[in-house]
Amino acid sequence: IVIEKLTKNVTEAHITEVFSSYGEIKMLDMPLNHQYNTNRGVCYVIYHSSSSAHAAIAHMHEGQLDGAVINVSI
């Protein structure tokens, strides 16, 4: 899944904590802006099962994370 519109405060640990409740995470990739050592506002999560990915999208799309409304999609 792709998580977009993240605030600069969000870390991989935050994503793992929130999104692991929908299933076991196989891989997480959060590209960093190395100049400022912050995320680029996007994160990619791969689950072990597609049903976990669909559950995460159903529950978190247009939800809030760190006070910002996020987009979650395939």
Confidence of residue 7 (pLDDT cuts 50, 70, 90): very high
CA dist 46 and 7 (Å) reads: 21
pTM over cut 0.95: no
pLDDT tens profile 48-71: 999 999 999 999 999 999 999 999
| Neighbour count for residue 64 (Cβ, 10 Å) | 9
Domains and CATH numbers, the chain: 2-73 (3.30.70.330)
What's the confidence (pLDDT) of residue 41?
96
